[in-house]
Structure 1
Amino acid sequence: MILLQASHIEKQYDGHVVLTDGNIVVQDKERIALLGQNGTGKSTMLRIIVGEEQPDKGTVSVQRSTGIGYVAQFVEADNDLSVYEFTAQTFETIIKMEKQLNDLELQMANPDVYSNTQRFEQIAASYDKLRQQFTDADGYAVEAKVRRVLKGLGFASEIWNSGVKSLSGGQKTRLSLAKLLAQEPDLLILDEPTNYLDTKTLVWLESYLKTYEGAILLVSHDRYFLDAIATGVYELRDGKTQRFNGNYTDYVEQKAEIVELETKHFEAQQQKIAKMEEFVQKNLVRASTTKRAQSRRKMLEKMERLEKPDASVDKLALHFASHRTSGRDVLSVENLSAGYNGIALGNPVNLLVRRGDRLAIVGPNGIGKTTLLKTLVGRQVPVSGHVRWGTKVDLGYYEQEQETLDASKTVLEQIYDEFPQLNLTTVRTALGRFLFRGEDVEKPVSALSGGERSRVALCRLMLSQPNVLVMDEPTNHLDLLAKEVLEDALSEYDGTLIFVSHDRYFMDALATHVLHIDEDGIKLYLGNYTEYIHKRQDEEQWDSDTNDKGTSRTESTQSFAESDSTAKSQRGVLHVDNTSVRSADLRKARETVEILERKISEVEQSLADVSGQLVTASMSADVDSLQQFQQQLSSLEQQHEELLTAWEQGAEELERLTELDRQNRRQK
């Protein structure tokens, strides 16, 4: 069944054409990804679909009774509600019903009420009717839905009562996503949902969306996420959309096949045209063959000429080169504590980074990864400990928000003033490699988008020719093509790389080591992201089997100085330590969740039954029974709460095992 159909959408702003023929169809339970370079109109297409903007031409049709939920790329959730209240807003009617039920229960327990038979019967009848409406609306499951999405999206229960106004911009966007997921609309429309999510939360969101009952339409530049979620892809290019089946990897392969096939057809037609033109040229002047030549010429004139397939698009021309080679020991960190105002954010760090190492730093949001990088490059004073850079180290730092760009300058002035040894032509050529051409170089820095600011920052890094790159979320604001170009450039880079990222494809392509930071401590892993994940899962399985959780979790002294030559030779080579998931463990986890769900359903039915008995006792003015049923109701509500908590824990374990099993199957 088609839930949504956008047909022949056209849109322009002040003469600038954005969409010329946008078409998207979303069927029930489909997961559709809308892909394209930054600025091609993806977000515009979504806003038109949800009715926030009107198309110049074209239509959007939505199946009757289809509920649509939309979270934009940037959200401002400013109000006086708490985190929990904001998320539960979508259930406002049900929550009001629950409060009314509680009020009616208190009234029925009031001696002044139940001694008045007529008044009591009126309240009891209202209670019975409202209780049935509450049950039909699945009211008993509301709390479980809200708690699950808040916990899954990284909102600790300690901040559920905090005001929404106290949250950062990223947290507000994440909270709006939580509210939408709790609502469970028939069609989820998500614009960059992975922004502001750490790796753990990303994995949870993937798992949640895989089992989502409705359909999904999303824009994302996270290739790992797209591979896990998408069942269909629309590419938006030059204002037009083209449909591909499968996930991101399937899309890349299909697109290459289509371009190859179209190229063959084009070349075959060109050969045919050349032969026909040659025949016409040779035979047109001969009396015996003039008619045949004229016929061929008419065929040529009527022939529908194929356009030459053009798979190329404007992309960055990025290349990092070191001005000189650094010493062997690039960075030595001893008992370093990073933080603010003398307060350390985490455990002390000890590291030895050597020339050629590529260190990815991962951990939950707020753990202090950016603070650590700022401390390493000298932007922030350590709380304690020492940072020592090696000999001949030329440092290049890419900051997450590009705070050091001068908003008062143009793009050209920013680079030209920073590199006075370069002439104007060289600077313009360099900016051209980052897609700043013609009048674009005169754009004020203050008016640049996030992607454009990132390109200016990368241009600065390239021109400075450092032999050590320290990068904080370098793929933020970059589209898929720009990410791939950056990966290629860093893969060929002959220097040392230290970076923070939540982009799992990016880490897989580049990292030789992963430094994991969390509340329990710091630990170094040899290998890329996939190897790191498998080793973490090995440890968790070991902890589970031995009931010795926490062992080896607080190691904070790590070194890249590998004494084993075999270990050294494995740097950058994908070698997966397969962690098998026993079918018995997966079955047991699934059965545990199913048992808890059955128990929750039974308790919810008991709650409904006791509520009905409470009404009956109320109508008969049976005070003893009334008190007894109220006690049972309180006991059942407490039991319901405990079962919900156990179910959340069981569901998390099942999601973890299922994801691990999926990864193992994919490796095989």
Structure 2
Amino acid sequence: MGFAQGDQLVGPLSGGWKKRLAIACGFVQAPDVMLVDEPTNHLDLEGMRWLEQVMAQAPWPWVMVSHDRWFLGHATNKIAEINRRYPDGIFLVPGGYEEFLVKREEFLNSQTQQAQALAGKVRREEEWLRRGPKARSIKAKSRIDSAHALQAELAETQVRLRQEETSIDFVGSGRRTKQLMVVHQLRKTFGPRTIIQKLDWVISPGTATGVLGHNGSGKSTLLKLLAKELEPDQGSVTYADKLQVVYFDQNRDQLDPKMTLRRTLSDSGHTVMYRGQTVHLAGWAKRFQFQPEQLDLPIELLSGGEQARAVIARLMLQSADVLIVDEPTNDLDIPTREVLEESLKEFPGALILVTHDRYMMEEVCTDFVGLDGQGGYGQFADYGQWESWLRRQRSGKDQTGTQTKSVRATAERPKAKKLSFRDQQEYDTIEKRVLDAEAVLELCRIETENPKIAANHLKLQEAYENLKSAEQEVERLYTRWAELEAKQQA
């Protein structure tokens, strides 16, 4: 289960390790079936990979409730959604999350078409009823009863298909400055432990950077440094003139638990100002699925998801150049996560995101900064590069505590002085070779997803062989890159 010591106390364990312990306790009981409620809560990305592996090896069936879409897509073979939109209140689909999304859209489209056909039939029957038929015969009475039944069925269908949605739309300031923040040689320690060491980073409009690292690696510390809530021990963060930074905190400590929702969202308690327009508070709250009677409840009586929506509702009223978001999906349901994703993707300023929701991270982020928890960091073009970096660290090919520059690095790579002429030539061109190899890899992935190729088992087999070769080439180049880095730094 990953514990280094079997005799350690439970109390000091982090939330993620306590979650692992709880799952281990369930496993040792060898149940006939295992029921798991939100198993990925408190787990970092490495912990989620571990959970996926142990779940796959479990010899018993298990039923899981989770809002983690990436995990649902990788650790399940059947998905059920409970929702009043479905005639039986539940929709069950074999396969992972992507298959579920396709089947759900097909089903709901068919339901909408049926509702439209039913509405047409009701209109015809209502026109007949308006002509004032007399229920003097059994046939006429039966048609009148049938018309009323159709009206009731249509009303029930329309209510069932109507979905309340959260509306999330962050406001950018429209600033055109190319460099919003410049991080130079940033260093932060806690006691003897170095969290961040010599970090260089330029943050520009239009970028969406995901911050990666295991629990305790310093992700939230980095965000607090950027948001001026912590002071660095060394180095600096230079901000553009009059920079507007909005910071979403995972701990919700921005909320006063005793204050009502009304006062949390509005100083006046009646209206809010959004994009220069006055909006009535009840209407604003409704955008986030709050009912009018909830406005006078204290924050402490709201659920975790409602508190998260309250923070988002308040943040949306602020214009921002840089949006710093720490675990925004905690306690949010999947529909709200999807709406939040779309808003983050459309935000015109710079976004810095920490989340355990890998699905959101891959949907939203354009690049990544990874922390190793011992002061080292790397800058990466995608999540796969981050995973390769971690594997190289574990195999000893990267030295922990060094600053790894990737194909997305913002600082200039210093010229190597300890490489041979041939190695120097290879070192100078390897970034481009990595980019080219990754482009080939992406093309191979697209080929394996082509329906025409999937329909031919021989072509599909060839496509997967090409994909495997492309993956091996990318891994080989990264390994070689690490070797050249080690030589250059020796």
Counterpart residue number, 1:380 = 230
Letter in 2 for 1:549: K
1:163 is aligned to 2:9: yes
Counterpart residue number, 1:194 = 40
* 1:300 aligned to which of 133, 147, 162: 147
Contact 1:359 1:512 in 2 (8 A): yes
* 1:403 aligned to which of 241, 250, 253: 253
How far is the alpha carbon of 1:532 from its aligned partner?
A: 2.4
Cα deviation per residue 1:157-202 (whole Å; 9 max; x = unaligned)?
1x53221122244532332122223444221111100011111121
How far is the alpha carbon of 1:459 from its aligned partner?
A: 1.2
Task: Give matches, 1:19-418, under 5 Å.
Answer: 149=1, 151=2, 155=3, 157=4, 159-238=5-84, 241-246=89-94, 247-279=96-128, 284=133, 296-297=143-144, 299-300=146-147, 305-306=153-154, 307-309=156-158, 310-325=160-175, 327-340=177-190, 344-417=194-267
* 1:549 aligned to which of 384, 397, 402: 397
Contact 2:201 2:411 in 1 (8 A): no
TM-score, length of structure 2 as denominator length: 0.74
Closer/same/farther in 2, CA of residues 330 and 298 from structure 1, 3 Å limit: closer
How far is the alpha carbon of 1:365 from its aligned partner?
A: 0.7
1:433 is aligned to 2:287: yes
SS state at 2:247 partner: strand
Contact 2:305 2:331 in 1 (8 A): yes
How far is the alpha carbon of 1:322 from its aligned partner?
A: 1.7
SS state at 2:225 partner: helix
Closer/same/farther in 2, CA of residues 468 and 439 from structure 1, 3 Å limit: same
CA distance in 1, matches of 2:269, 2:153: 49
1:471 is aligned to 2:325: yes
Contact 1:348 1:556 in 2 (8 A): no
Query: Is the deviation greater in 409-418 or in 273-282?
Result: 273-282
Cα deviation per residue 1:40-89 (whole Å; 9 max; x = unaligned)?
xxxxxxxxxxxxxxxxxxxxxxxxxxxxxxxxxxxxxxxxxxxxxxxxxx
* 2:349 aligned to which of 481, 495, 500: 495
Contact 2:265 2:272 in 1 (8 A): no
How far is the alpha carbon of 1:204 from its aligned partner?
A: 1.9
Letter in 1 for 2:259: K
Contact 2:19 2:43 in 1 (8 A): no
Query: Is the deviation greater in 515-524 or in 370-379?
Result: 515-524
Q: How high is the sequence identity, in percent, across the aligned residues?
A: 28
Counterpart residue number, 2:365 = 511
CA distance in 2, matches of 1:349, 1:262: 53
Cα deviation per residue 1:504-548 (whole Å; 9 max; x = unaligned)?
11111111111111146211012xxxx321x3465678899xx87
Closer/same/farther in 2, CA of residues 169 and 504 from structure 1, 3 Å limit: closer
Gapped regions of structure 1 (runs ≥ 5): 1-148, 581-659
Closer/same/farther in 2, CA of residues 393 and 488 from structure 1, 3 Å limit: same
Closer/same/farther in 2, CA of residues 249 and 275 from structure 1, 3 Å limit: same
How far is the alpha carbon of 1:340 from its aligned partner?
A: 3.3
CA distance in 1, matches of 2:149, 2:253: 59
Closer/same/farther in 2, CA of residues 461 and 290 from structure 1, 3 Å limit: same
Letter in 1 for 2:187: S
CA distance in 1, matches of 2:54, 2:198: 35
CA distance in 1, matches of 2:349, 2:296: 32
How far is the alpha carbon of 1:254 from its aligned partner?
A: 2.2
How far is the alpha carbon of 1:407 from its aligned partner?
A: 1.9
Query: Is the deviation greater in 382-391 or in 248-257?
Result: 248-257
Closer/same/farther in 2, CA of residues 454 and 298 from structure 1, 3 Å limit: closer
How far is the alpha carbon of 1:203 from its aligned partner?
A: 1.4
Letter in 2 for 1:356: G
1:532 is aligned to 2:383: yes
CA distance in 2, matches of 1:452, 1:386: 37
SS state at 2:351 partner: strand
SS state at 2:48 partner: helix
CA distance in 2, matches of 1:420, 1:308: 35
CA distance in 2, matches of 1:291, 1:519: 81
Contact 2:187 2:233 in 1 (8 A): yes
Contact 1:454 1:477 in 2 (8 A): yes
CA distance in 2, matches of 1:415, 1:272: 45
Contact 1:517 1:523 in 2 (8 A): yes
How far is the alpha carbon of 1:213 from its aligned partner?
A: 1.4
Closer/same/farther in 2, CA of residues 443 and 342 from structure 1, 3 Å limit: farther
Contact 2:246 2:320 in 1 (8 A): yes
SS state at 1:249 partner: helix
Closer/same/farther in 2, CA of residues 345 and 270 from structure 1, 3 Å limit: closer
Letter in 2 for 1:220: S
Contact 1:335 1:348 in 2 (8 A): yes
SS state at 1:524 partner: strand
Aligned residues: 414
Closer/same/farther in 2, CA of residues 237 and 272 from structure 1, 3 Å limit: closer
CA distance in 1, matches of 2:193, 2:390: 30
Cα deviation per residue 1:204-235 (whole Å; 9 max; x = unaligned)?
21122123211011110010111112222232
CA distance in 2, matches of 1:369, 1:488: 23
Gapped regions of structure 2 (runs ≥ 5): 414-430, 445-466, 472-490
CA distance in 2, matches of 1:317, 1:488: 10
Closer/same/farther in 2, CA of residues 238 and 352 from structure 1, 3 Å limit: same
Query: Is the deviation greater in 484-493 or in 197-206?
Result: 197-206
CA distance in 1, matches of 2:336, 2:379: 29
CA distance in 2, matches of 1:577, 1:317: 37
SS state at 1:442 partner: coil
How far is the alpha carbon of 1:430 from its aligned partner?
A: 2.4
CA distance in 2, matches of 1:498, 1:536: 17
How far is the alpha carbon of 1:428 from its aligned partner?
A: 3.5
Counterpart residue number, 2:454 = none
CA distance in 2, matches of 1:554, 1:485: 38
CA distance in 1, matches of 2:60, 2:47: 21
CA distance in 2, matches of 1:278, 1:408: 56
Letter in 2 for 1:449: S
Query: Is the deviation greater in 515-524 or in 170-179?
Result: 170-179
Counterpart residue number, 1:484 = 338
Letter in 1 for 2:354: V
Letter in 2 for 1:242: I
TM-score, length of structure 1 as denominator length: 0.55
How far is the alpha carbon of 1:368 from its aligned partner?
A: 1.0
Closer/same/farther in 2, CA of residues 280 and 485 from structure 1, 3 Å limit: closer
CA distance in 2, matches of 1:315, 1:374: 31
